[in-house]
Amino acid sequence: MQGLIISFDAATQEGVIRSESGEEFTFDLTGWRGRGLPDADVAVSFEAQSDGRAKQVFNLPAGQLKAVGTQKISSDEVSVPWYKKLGL
């Protein structure tokens, strides 16, 4: 199945996934097989259990983000930290 993590509590290490059909499944870190730690709004694939739990939870592949435009600066500005340019 596929779905979206709608919540994850790092303290209890448990979360909830809403499937494409609207069903909700709970999972914990023992069932997490994805990259990094789970978080809300992460698209996943998982195996649904009859008891309402999910196991074998993986991140779905995400498309590559488009780069934001860059700004050319002169070579003498390179050593100035960006926050100083903003007056911070």
pTM recorded for the entire structure? 0.68
**Low pLDDT (below 50) residues in the chain:** none
Single-letter residue type at 13: Q
Q: What is the pLDDT of residue 41?
A: 92
Q: Name all domains of the chain by residue range, CATH numbers in brackets.
A: 2-59 (2.40.50.140)
Q: What is the pLDDT of residue 35?
A: 87
Residue 25 contacts residue 14 (beta carbons within 8 Å): no
Chain centre to alpha carbon of residue 56: 16
Residue 47 contacts residue 1 (beta carbons within 8 Å): yes
Farthest CA pair distance, the chain: 64
Q: What is the pLDDT of residue 83?
A: 63
Cβ-proximal residues to 12 (8 Å cutoff; 6+ apart), any chain: none
